[in-house]
Amino acid sequence: MTQIASFENFGHKHILTIAIPVILSNITTPLVGLADIATIGHATLPDGVNSAAATGAVAFGSMLFSLVFGSFIFFKMGTSGFVAQAKGAGNVPEIAALLLRSLLVAIIIGLLVILLRQPVIDLIFLVSNASADVQVLSSDYYNIRALAAPFTLMNFVILGWLMGQGRAKLGLVVQLILNFSNIALNLLFVLELNMAVEGVAWASFAAEIIAFIISIAIIIKLYGNHYFSRPLADILNRSQLLRMFNVNRDILIRSIALTLTFTWFTMQSANMGDVTLASNAILLQIVAVFAYFLDGFATSAEVFIGQSIGAKNSKIFNRALNLSLIWAFAMGLILAALGWFFGSMIIDFMSQDLAIRSQAKAYLFWPLIIVMVGPWCYTMDGVFIGATRGADMRNMMLISFVTYLASWYILVFFWGNHGQWMAFLVMYFVRGFSLQTRMPNLRRHVFNT
Protein backbone atom coordinates (compact mmCIF):
# COMPACT_ATOMS: atom_id res chain seq x y z
CA MET A 1 0.00 0.00 0.00
CA THR A 2 1.43 3.41 -0.95
CA GLN A 3 1.83 6.26 1.50
CA ILE A 4 -1.03 8.36 0.19
CA ALA A 5 -3.43 5.43 0.02
CA SER A 6 -2.76 4.60 3.69
CA PHE A 7 -3.97 7.99 4.95
CA GLU A 8 -7.16 7.81 6.93
CA ASN A 9 -9.29 10.86 7.62
CA PHE A 10 -7.06 13.06 5.50
CA GLY A 11 -7.43 16.58 6.83
CA HIS A 12 -5.93 19.74 8.26
CA LYS A 13 -3.16 17.88 10.11
CA HIS A 14 -1.69 16.56 6.89
CA ILE A 15 -1.71 20.00 5.25
CA LEU A 16 -0.03 21.62 8.26
CA THR A 17 2.55 18.84 8.56
CA ILE A 18 3.94 20.01 5.22
CA ALA A 19 3.04 23.69 5.36
CA ILE A 20 4.51 24.65 8.74
CA PRO A 21 8.08 23.42 8.09
CA VAL A 22 7.95 24.99 4.61
CA ILE A 23 6.79 28.31 6.07
CA LEU A 24 9.50 28.21 8.75
CA SER A 25 12.15 27.54 6.12
CA ASN A 26 10.69 30.09 3.71
CA ILE A 27 10.62 32.82 6.34
CA THR A 28 14.40 32.78 6.35
CA THR A 29 14.61 33.12 2.54
CA PRO A 30 13.19 36.66 2.24
CA LEU A 31 15.18 37.51 5.37
CA VAL A 32 18.23 37.13 3.12
CA GLY A 33 16.81 39.77 0.79
CA LEU A 34 15.91 41.97 3.73
CA ALA A 35 19.42 41.51 5.14
CA ASP A 36 20.94 42.37 1.75
CA ILE A 37 19.11 45.68 1.57
CA ALA A 38 19.35 46.47 5.29
CA THR A 39 23.12 45.85 5.49
CA ILE A 40 23.84 47.86 2.35
CA GLY A 41 21.61 50.59 3.78
CA HIS A 42 23.89 50.78 6.81
CA ALA A 43 27.20 50.01 5.09
CA THR A 44 30.26 52.21 4.70
CA LEU A 45 30.13 53.02 1.00
CA PRO A 46 32.95 54.02 -1.37
CA ASP A 47 33.37 57.73 -2.08
CA GLY A 48 30.92 58.98 -4.66
CA VAL A 49 28.34 56.19 -4.10
CA ASN A 50 25.15 57.25 -2.30
CA SER A 51 22.76 55.07 -0.32
CA ALA A 52 19.97 55.14 -2.93
CA ALA A 53 22.36 54.00 -5.70
CA ALA A 54 23.83 51.20 -3.55
CA THR A 55 20.38 49.97 -2.45
CA GLY A 56 19.14 50.20 -6.02
CA ALA A 57 22.20 48.28 -7.25
CA VAL A 58 21.55 45.39 -4.87
CA ALA A 59 17.89 45.39 -5.93
CA PHE A 60 18.83 45.53 -9.62
CA GLY A 61 21.50 42.84 -9.22
CA SER A 62 19.04 40.64 -7.37
CA MET A 63 16.58 41.22 -10.20
CA LEU A 64 19.20 40.01 -12.69
CA PHE A 65 19.78 36.94 -10.54
CA SER A 66 16.04 36.29 -10.23
CA LEU A 67 15.54 36.74 -13.96
CA VAL A 68 18.02 33.95 -14.73
CA PHE A 69 17.67 31.63 -11.75
CA GLY A 70 13.95 32.20 -11.32
CA SER A 71 13.62 30.82 -14.83
CA PHE A 72 15.32 27.62 -13.64
CA ILE A 73 13.00 27.09 -10.69
CA PHE A 74 11.71 24.08 -12.63
CA PHE A 75 14.60 22.20 -11.02
CA LYS A 76 12.63 22.44 -7.78
CA MET A 77 9.08 22.40 -9.16
CA GLY A 78 9.48 19.69 -11.78
CA THR A 79 11.55 17.47 -9.49
CA SER A 80 8.99 17.83 -6.70
CA GLY A 81 6.06 16.91 -8.96
CA PHE A 82 7.78 13.86 -10.46
CA VAL A 83 8.97 12.63 -7.07
CA ALA A 84 5.53 13.10 -5.49
CA GLN A 85 3.92 10.98 -8.20
CA ALA A 86 6.63 8.31 -7.90
CA LYS A 87 6.12 8.34 -4.13
CA GLY A 88 2.37 7.91 -4.50
CA ALA A 89 2.91 5.01 -6.90
CA GLY A 90 5.50 3.39 -4.56
CA ASN A 91 8.25 3.53 -7.22
CA VAL A 92 11.36 3.74 -4.99
CA PRO A 93 13.99 3.11 -7.73
CA GLU A 94 12.64 6.03 -9.77
CA ILE A 95 12.75 8.32 -6.72
CA ALA A 96 16.48 7.66 -6.40
CA ALA A 97 17.08 7.97 -10.15
CA LEU A 98 15.23 11.29 -10.24
CA LEU A 99 17.73 12.91 -7.87
CA LEU A 100 20.78 11.80 -9.84
CA ARG A 101 19.17 12.62 -13.19
CA SER A 102 18.18 16.11 -12.10
CA LEU A 103 21.55 16.88 -10.47
CA LEU A 104 23.35 15.96 -13.69
CA VAL A 105 21.21 18.34 -15.74
CA ALA A 106 21.61 21.08 -13.10
CA ILE A 107 25.41 20.91 -13.33
CA ILE A 108 25.37 21.24 -17.13
CA ILE A 109 22.99 24.21 -17.16
CA GLY A 110 24.81 25.84 -14.24
CA LEU A 111 28.08 25.84 -16.18
CA LEU A 112 26.31 27.42 -19.16
CA VAL A 113 24.96 30.18 -16.91
CA ILE A 114 28.51 31.01 -15.78
CA LEU A 115 29.78 31.17 -19.37
CA LEU A 116 26.93 33.44 -20.49
CA ARG A 117 26.70 35.75 -17.49
CA GLN A 118 28.24 38.83 -19.16
CA PRO A 119 26.05 38.67 -22.30
CA VAL A 120 23.00 38.47 -20.00
CA ILE A 121 24.10 41.64 -18.20
CA ASP A 122 24.80 43.47 -21.45
CA LEU A 123 21.37 42.52 -22.81
CA ILE A 124 19.55 43.78 -19.72
CA PHE A 125 21.34 47.13 -19.78
CA LEU A 126 20.38 47.63 -23.42
CA VAL A 127 16.76 48.05 -22.35
CA SER A 128 17.33 49.76 -18.99
CA ASN A 129 17.77 53.42 -18.11
CA ALA A 130 19.22 52.71 -14.67
CA SER A 131 21.79 55.25 -13.50
CA ALA A 132 25.48 54.68 -14.26
CA ASP A 133 26.26 53.90 -10.61
CA VAL A 134 23.49 51.30 -10.42
CA GLN A 135 24.65 49.66 -13.65
CA VAL A 136 28.28 49.34 -12.56
CA LEU A 137 27.52 48.07 -9.06
CA SER A 138 24.75 45.65 -10.09
CA SER A 139 26.97 44.24 -12.85
CA ASP A 140 29.69 43.47 -10.28
CA TYR A 141 27.06 41.88 -8.03
CA TYR A 142 25.68 39.53 -10.70
CA ASN A 143 29.07 38.54 -12.11
CA ILE A 144 30.09 37.31 -8.66
CA ARG A 145 26.85 35.66 -7.62
CA ALA A 146 26.41 33.79 -10.91
CA LEU A 147 29.65 31.89 -10.27
CA ALA A 148 27.71 29.67 -7.86
CA ALA A 149 25.18 28.71 -10.55
CA PRO A 150 25.77 24.91 -10.52
CA PHE A 151 25.39 24.81 -6.74
CA THR A 152 22.32 27.07 -6.77
CA LEU A 153 20.55 24.83 -9.28
CA MET A 154 21.58 21.63 -7.48
CA ASN A 155 20.20 23.10 -4.25
CA PHE A 156 16.90 23.64 -6.12
CA VAL A 157 16.93 19.95 -7.09
CA ILE A 158 17.66 18.75 -3.56
CA LEU A 159 14.86 20.85 -2.06
CA GLY A 160 12.33 19.71 -4.67
CA TRP A 161 13.38 16.07 -4.23
CA LEU A 162 12.85 16.25 -0.48
CA MET A 163 9.56 18.12 -0.72
CA GLY A 164 8.15 15.69 -3.28
CA GLN A 165 8.55 12.91 -0.72
CA GLY A 166 6.90 14.98 1.98
CA ARG A 167 10.25 15.40 3.81
CA ALA A 168 9.37 18.96 4.78
CA LYS A 169 11.38 18.95 8.02
CA LEU A 170 14.53 17.90 6.20
CA GLY A 171 13.80 20.59 3.60
CA LEU A 172 13.62 23.04 6.50
CA VAL A 173 17.11 22.03 7.60
CA VAL A 174 18.49 22.54 4.09
CA GLN A 175 16.96 26.01 3.78
CA LEU A 176 18.10 27.07 7.24
CA ILE A 177 21.67 26.09 6.40
CA LEU A 178 21.56 28.08 3.16
CA ASN A 179 19.85 31.20 4.44
CA PHE A 180 21.52 31.63 7.82
CA SER A 181 24.91 31.05 6.22
CA ASN A 182 24.05 33.78 3.75
CA ILE A 183 22.94 36.25 6.42
CA ALA A 184 25.95 35.59 8.65
CA LEU A 185 28.40 35.99 5.76
CA ASN A 186 26.52 39.09 4.64
CA LEU A 187 27.09 40.76 8.00
CA LEU A 188 30.73 39.72 7.98
CA PHE A 189 31.59 40.82 4.45
CA VAL A 190 29.57 44.06 4.36
CA LEU A 191 29.64 45.47 7.87
CA GLU A 192 32.94 44.09 9.17
CA LEU A 193 35.08 43.86 6.02
CA ASN A 194 33.46 46.88 4.29
CA MET A 195 33.06 45.02 0.96
CA ALA A 196 29.77 46.87 0.22
CA VAL A 197 27.79 45.55 -2.80
CA GLU A 198 30.44 42.96 -3.71
CA GLY A 199 30.29 41.62 -0.16
CA VAL A 200 26.56 40.93 -0.54
CA ALA A 201 27.29 38.91 -3.69
CA TRP A 202 30.20 36.92 -2.23
CA ALA A 203 28.06 36.04 0.81
CA SER A 204 25.42 34.48 -1.45
CA PHE A 205 28.09 32.67 -3.48
CA ALA A 206 29.67 31.05 -0.42
CA ALA A 207 26.33 30.15 1.18
CA GLU A 208 25.20 28.15 -1.87
CA ILE A 209 28.34 26.00 -1.75
CA ILE A 210 28.11 25.45 2.00
CA ALA A 211 24.46 24.41 1.75
CA PHE A 212 25.09 21.96 -1.07
CA ILE A 213 27.98 20.18 0.66
CA ILE A 214 26.10 19.79 3.94
CA SER A 215 22.86 18.73 2.21
CA ILE A 216 24.54 15.98 0.22
CA ALA A 217 26.25 14.73 3.38
CA ILE A 218 22.89 14.61 5.21
CA ILE A 219 21.13 12.77 2.35
CA ILE A 220 23.87 10.13 2.07
CA LYS A 221 23.83 9.67 5.84
CA LEU A 222 20.05 9.15 5.90
CA TYR A 223 19.58 7.08 2.76
CA GLY A 224 22.95 5.35 2.39
CA ASN A 225 25.10 4.99 -0.71
CA HIS A 226 23.27 1.84 -1.85
CA TYR A 227 20.02 3.81 -2.23
CA PHE A 228 21.57 5.75 -5.10
CA SER A 229 23.36 2.84 -6.75
CA ARG A 230 21.25 3.07 -9.84
CA PRO A 231 22.38 1.74 -13.25
CA LEU A 232 23.43 4.49 -15.62
CA ALA A 233 20.69 3.30 -18.00
CA ASP A 234 18.07 4.21 -15.37
CA ILE A 235 19.52 7.67 -14.81
CA LEU A 236 19.77 8.36 -18.56
CA ASN A 237 16.46 6.64 -19.37
CA ARG A 238 15.38 8.24 -22.63
CA SER A 239 11.63 8.24 -22.00
CA GLN A 240 12.05 9.66 -18.48
CA LEU A 241 14.49 12.32 -19.70
CA LEU A 242 12.09 13.28 -22.46
CA ARG A 243 9.17 13.50 -20.05
CA MET A 244 11.26 15.60 -17.67
CA PHE A 245 12.37 17.82 -20.55
CA ASN A 246 8.82 18.41 -21.80
CA VAL A 247 7.40 19.33 -18.40
CA ASN A 248 10.43 21.39 -17.37
CA ARG A 249 10.44 23.21 -20.72
CA ASP A 250 6.88 24.35 -20.08
CA ILE A 251 7.65 25.34 -16.48
CA LEU A 252 10.73 27.19 -17.76
CA ILE A 253 8.62 29.25 -20.17
CA ARG A 254 6.11 29.89 -17.40
CA SER A 255 8.85 30.92 -14.98
CA ILE A 256 10.48 33.23 -17.53
CA ALA A 257 7.15 34.97 -18.11
CA LEU A 258 6.58 35.33 -14.36
CA THR A 259 10.12 36.57 -13.76
CA LEU A 260 9.77 39.05 -16.61
CA THR A 261 6.87 40.70 -14.79
CA PHE A 262 9.14 41.36 -11.81
CA THR A 263 11.98 42.35 -14.14
CA TRP A 264 9.80 44.79 -16.05
CA PHE A 265 8.51 46.23 -12.78
CA THR A 266 12.05 46.75 -11.45
CA MET A 267 13.39 48.18 -14.70
CA GLN A 268 10.54 50.65 -15.00
CA SER A 269 11.05 51.62 -11.37
CA ALA A 270 14.67 52.38 -12.23
CA ASN A 271 13.45 54.59 -15.08
CA MET A 272 11.45 56.57 -12.52
CA GLY A 273 14.58 57.38 -10.48
CA ASP A 274 16.79 55.86 -7.79
CA VAL A 275 14.37 56.72 -4.95
CA THR A 276 11.43 55.00 -6.68
CA LEU A 277 13.65 52.02 -7.51
CA ALA A 278 14.80 51.70 -3.89
CA SER A 279 11.33 52.18 -2.35
CA ASN A 280 9.70 49.70 -4.74
CA ALA A 281 12.53 47.25 -4.02
CA ILE A 282 11.67 47.40 -0.32
CA LEU A 283 7.99 46.79 -1.02
CA LEU A 284 8.82 43.89 -3.34
CA GLN A 285 10.80 42.34 -0.50
CA ILE A 286 7.65 42.59 1.64
CA VAL A 287 5.70 40.88 -1.17
CA ALA A 288 8.41 38.19 -1.16
CA VAL A 289 7.97 37.68 2.59
CA PHE A 290 4.23 37.25 2.09
CA ALA A 291 4.77 34.87 -0.83
CA TYR A 292 6.99 32.57 1.18
CA PHE A 293 4.30 32.19 3.83
CA LEU A 294 1.70 31.34 1.20
CA ASP A 295 4.11 28.94 -0.50
CA GLY A 296 3.76 26.61 2.48
CA PHE A 297 0.20 25.77 1.47
CA ALA A 298 1.10 25.69 -2.22
CA THR A 299 3.71 23.07 -1.33
CA SER A 300 1.12 21.07 0.61
CA ALA A 301 -1.09 21.08 -2.47
CA GLU A 302 1.89 20.13 -4.63
CA VAL A 303 2.89 17.15 -2.48
CA PHE A 304 -0.55 15.68 -1.87
CA ILE A 305 -1.92 16.40 -5.34
CA GLY A 306 1.12 14.62 -6.81
CA GLN A 307 0.86 11.67 -4.44
CA SER A 308 -2.91 11.36 -4.93
CA ILE A 309 -2.41 11.23 -8.70
CA GLY A 310 0.31 8.59 -8.32
CA ALA A 311 -2.05 6.56 -6.12
CA LYS A 312 -5.10 7.28 -8.32
CA ASN A 313 -6.98 8.66 -5.32
CA SER A 314 -9.41 11.40 -6.42
CA LYS A 315 -10.91 11.79 -2.94
CA ILE A 316 -7.62 12.94 -1.43
CA PHE A 317 -6.99 15.08 -4.53
CA ASN A 318 -10.17 17.08 -3.87
CA ARG A 319 -9.61 17.25 -0.13
CA ALA A 320 -6.02 18.45 -0.50
CA LEU A 321 -7.07 21.15 -2.96
CA ASN A 322 -9.88 22.50 -0.78
CA LEU A 323 -7.95 22.50 2.49
CA SER A 324 -4.89 24.11 0.90
CA LEU A 325 -7.03 26.95 -0.48
CA ILE A 326 -8.78 27.50 2.85
CA TRP A 327 -5.51 27.73 4.78
CA ALA A 328 -3.84 29.91 2.13
CA PHE A 329 -6.61 32.52 2.13
CA ALA A 330 -6.70 32.54 5.94
CA MET A 331 -2.95 33.15 5.99
CA GLY A 332 -3.34 35.95 3.42
CA LEU A 333 -5.76 37.81 5.70
CA ILE A 334 -3.44 37.41 8.69
CA LEU A 335 -0.45 38.70 6.72
CA ALA A 336 -2.41 41.72 5.44
CA ALA A 337 -3.34 42.64 9.02
CA LEU A 338 0.26 42.27 10.21
CA GLY A 339 1.49 44.37 7.29
CA TRP A 340 -0.99 47.12 8.13
CA PHE A 341 0.24 47.38 11.72
CA PHE A 342 3.99 46.77 11.27
CA GLY A 343 4.75 47.72 7.66
CA SER A 344 6.05 51.20 8.49
CA MET A 345 8.43 49.78 11.09
CA ILE A 346 9.82 47.32 8.54
CA ILE A 347 10.38 50.11 6.02
CA ASP A 348 12.22 52.22 8.61
CA PHE A 349 14.43 49.25 9.46
CA MET A 350 15.33 48.64 5.83
CA SER A 351 16.45 52.17 4.96
CA GLN A 352 17.84 55.25 6.67
CA ASP A 353 17.05 57.48 3.69
CA LEU A 354 14.03 59.69 4.51
CA ALA A 355 12.94 60.05 0.88
CA ILE A 356 12.96 56.27 0.38
CA ARG A 357 11.04 55.72 3.61
CA SER A 358 8.39 58.28 2.73
CA GLN A 359 7.72 56.93 -0.75
CA ALA A 360 7.65 53.29 0.37
CA LYS A 361 5.06 54.08 3.05
CA ALA A 362 2.87 55.87 0.50
CA TYR A 363 2.63 52.67 -1.56
CA LEU A 364 2.54 50.14 1.29
CA PHE A 365 -1.15 49.32 0.84
CA TRP A 366 -0.49 47.65 -2.53
CA PRO A 367 1.43 44.66 -1.10
CA LEU A 368 -1.37 44.27 1.45
CA ILE A 369 -3.99 43.96 -1.29
CA ILE A 370 -1.78 41.58 -3.27
CA VAL A 371 -1.39 39.20 -0.31
CA MET A 372 -5.18 38.86 -0.09
CA VAL A 373 -5.44 37.95 -3.79
CA GLY A 374 -2.22 35.92 -4.07
CA PRO A 375 -3.35 32.75 -2.21
CA TRP A 376 -5.42 31.75 -5.23
CA CYS A 377 -2.61 31.70 -7.79
CA TYR A 378 0.00 30.27 -5.40
CA THR A 379 -2.19 27.32 -4.44
CA MET A 380 -3.23 26.66 -8.02
CA ASP A 381 0.44 26.67 -9.01
CA GLY A 382 1.00 23.94 -6.42
CA VAL A 383 -1.85 21.88 -7.85
CA PHE A 384 -0.54 22.00 -11.42
CA ILE A 385 3.05 21.37 -10.32
CA GLY A 386 1.97 18.27 -8.41
CA ALA A 387 0.04 17.12 -11.46
CA THR A 388 3.09 17.90 -13.69
CA ARG A 389 0.76 19.84 -15.99
CA GLY A 390 3.42 22.15 -17.33
CA ALA A 391 1.58 23.13 -20.52
CA ASP A 392 -1.37 24.55 -18.57
CA MET A 393 0.96 26.52 -16.31
CA ARG A 394 2.83 27.84 -19.34
CA ASN A 395 -0.23 28.93 -21.24
CA MET A 396 -2.03 30.56 -18.33
CA MET A 397 1.11 32.45 -17.28
CA LEU A 398 1.61 33.75 -20.82
CA ILE A 399 -1.97 35.03 -20.76
CA SER A 400 -1.28 36.65 -17.38
CA PHE A 401 1.93 38.26 -18.64
CA VAL A 402 0.28 39.76 -21.72
CA THR A 403 -2.57 41.04 -19.54
CA TYR A 404 -0.02 42.55 -17.15
CA LEU A 405 1.82 44.45 -19.91
CA ALA A 406 -1.42 45.75 -21.41
CA SER A 407 -2.60 46.87 -17.97
CA TRP A 408 0.76 48.47 -17.23
CA TYR A 409 0.75 50.64 -20.34
CA ILE A 410 -2.76 51.90 -19.61
CA LEU A 411 -2.56 52.31 -15.84
CA VAL A 412 0.91 53.88 -15.63
CA PHE A 413 -0.19 56.53 -18.13
CA PHE A 414 -2.90 57.69 -15.72
CA TRP A 415 -1.49 56.89 -12.28
CA GLY A 416 2.30 56.56 -12.56
CA ASN A 417 3.83 54.29 -9.92
CA HIS A 418 0.39 53.53 -8.47
CA GLY A 419 -0.49 52.26 -11.95
CA GLN A 420 2.54 49.94 -11.83
CA TRP A 421 1.30 48.36 -8.64
CA MET A 422 -2.27 48.14 -9.93
CA ALA A 423 -1.07 46.25 -13.03
CA PHE A 424 0.91 43.94 -10.75
CA LEU A 425 -2.29 43.16 -8.84
CA VAL A 426 -4.11 42.40 -12.10
CA MET A 427 -1.42 39.87 -12.99
CA TYR A 428 -1.91 38.02 -9.67
CA PHE A 429 -5.67 37.81 -10.17
CA VAL A 430 -5.45 36.57 -13.77
CA ARG A 431 -2.93 33.86 -12.75
CA GLY A 432 -5.34 32.38 -10.23
CA PHE A 433 -8.48 32.74 -12.35
CA SER A 434 -6.96 31.31 -15.53
CA LEU A 435 -5.58 28.22 -13.77
CA GLN A 436 -8.93 27.67 -12.07
CA THR A 437 -10.59 27.44 -15.48
CA ARG A 438 -8.27 24.51 -16.34
CA MET A 439 -9.24 22.39 -13.33
CA PRO A 440 -12.02 20.39 -15.03
CA ASN A 441 -9.63 19.41 -17.81
CA LEU A 442 -6.95 18.43 -15.29
CA ARG A 443 -9.36 16.13 -13.44
CA ARG A 444 -10.48 14.47 -16.66
CA HIS A 445 -6.87 13.89 -17.67
CA VAL A 446 -5.46 12.42 -14.45
CA PHE A 447 -8.52 10.42 -13.30
CA ASN A 448 -10.08 9.62 -16.71
CA THR A 449 -13.40 11.14 -15.65
- Alpha-carbon distances, residue 295 vs 354, 355, 427 (angstroms): 33, 32, 17
Q: 108: buried, middle or exposed (CB in 10 Å: 19+, 13-18, 0-12)?
A: exposed
- pLDDT of 47 strictly over 70: no
In this prediction, residue 375 has a pLDDT band, given cuts at 50, 70 and 90, of very high
d(CA 217, CA 235): 21
- What are the pLDDT digits (tens) for 215-250? 999 888 888 877 777 777 777 888 888 888 888 889
Q: Out of 126-135, 216-225, 413-422, which region has the weakest mean confidence (pLDDT)? A: 126-135
**Cα(395)–Cα(402) distance, rounded to whole angstroms?**
11
Between the alpha carbon of residue 63 and those of residues 6, 70, 226, the distances in Å are 44, 9, 41
In the structure, what pLDDT confidence band is assigned to residue 5 with cuts at 50, 70 and 90?
very low
Domains: count for the chain: 1
- The HSE-up count of residue 185 (CA atoms within 13 Å, CB side) is 22
Per the structure, the complete domain to which residue 379 belongs is given by 4-447
CA–CA gap between residue 270 and residue 266 (Å, rounded):
6
pTM of the shown model? 0.78
